Amino acid sequence: MSGNIFGEIFKVATFGESHGAGLGCIIDGCPAGISVDEKFLQHEMERRKPGAKSAAVTARKEDDLAEILSGVFEGKTTGTPIAILIRNSNQHSSDYENIKNKFRPGHADFTYYKKYGIRDYRGGGRSSGRETCARVAAGAFAKMFLKSLGIQIFAYTKEAAGIKSGKVDFSEIEQNAMRAADKDAAALMQKKVEEFKQKKNSCGGIVECVVKGLAAGFGEPVFDKLDAVLSHAVLSIGAIKGIEFGSGFGCADSNGLENNDFMGSGFSFETNNAGGILGGISRGDDIIFRVAVKPVPSIYLSQETVDVNGNECDILIEGRHDVCLCPRIVPVVEAMTAITLADMVLRNRSSRV
């Protein structure tokens, strides 16, 4: 299998499966001398891990302890590859025994089987959302690097189960189970998600991400435009089905006079319809994008499908699954954004004398 490495200089490779011995990542190209805060690393893992007290989140309980195997000495990165291991400890592989020969609707079961001729039916193996724990571990190191440059990343649930946020207060994000930036909307989201759970169904939503502190001039202007690479990074998260920057698809109903962001003194922009990026290069104000998160495909209702022989059959998925992925995808979106920006910062250092 190829395609497990992301980045040009700050490179991240992930490995492992949902029900295997563990998962992990190797970070190559991380500069030496970065102060490593292991408490921060574990905090980031806690934000993504399952078992939270929320109707939206799976009951699977994993410690998700990030074990640093190499690349750090006396609290600083050494410039050598950083290896991190996260061991699995709470797999219930028997939950999948009765459906091992059936393809789950909405999952990658069928496409993996057609590509490789074999698949790990225990939670999807490599295609499981559990793979993202390794991304979050790598993203924590990228964030530590970006912090030294004054760059901050804030992702939050903007919409879930049809409930939209009306305001944005970053201080509220970690204060509610939905990771919304609007506490009133968060309460309504949680209530609606609980209704979906009672109906044995699932729901989707929208996550917004804001990058602050990135100076103008980052991004490669042709194939590796900053928005293009961010899209690559974020769309590689399994449940995300769409992305837009700034005014996004709304610009299709606009005109040039309305959509252009006029500049003022000090190279400032009066509006941000471009999402902070022009010609694939950051322009110095906030980078803003939104992603569409699909409903969790594992629902507790009977569905029509086929087996590995192509025979029609019904499937009833058991086990432990999320109802709405938005709260747990928030730290993953931040991680992939951080990895992308860390790579772009390092690439920029060779752009001119």
The annotation places the binding site for NADP(+) at 48
> Which candidate, 116, 121, 88, places its Cα nearest to that of 298?
121
Beta strands in 221-326 (DSSP E): 240-245, 263-264, 268-269, 277-278, 281-282, 287-293, 303-306, 312-315
Cβ-contact 81, 96 below 8 angstroms: no
Tokens standing for residue 288:
């803003």
Collapsed DSSP state (helix, strand, coil) of residue 346: helix
Q: Which one-letter DSSP state was computed for residue 103?
A: P
Tokens standing for residue 110:
């069928």
Torsion angle, alpha carbons of 50, 243, 284, 349, to 10: 80
Using CA atoms, how far apart are residues 6 and 343, in angstroms rounded to an integer? 10
Tokens standing for residue 353:
């004398």
CA 229 to chain centroid: 14
Task: Give the number of other CB atoms < 10 A from CB of residue 258.
Answer: 11
Collapsed DSSP state (helix, strand, coil) of residue 233: helix
Using CA atoms, how far apart are residues 215 and 320, in angstroms rounded to an integer? 43
Annotated binding site: 48, 126-128, 279, 294-298, 320
Using CA atoms, how far apart are residues 121 and 100, in angstroms rounded to an integer? 5
- Angle at Cα 220 formed by Cα 215 and Cα 226, nearest 5°? 65
φ, ψ (nearest 5 deg) of residue 67: -100, 115
φ, ψ (nearest 5 deg) of residue 264: -115, -170
> Which candidate, 27, 31, 14, places its Cα nearest to that of 347?
31
Annotated binding site for FMN: 126-128, 279, 294-298, 320
Cβ-contact 61, 52 below 8 angstroms: no
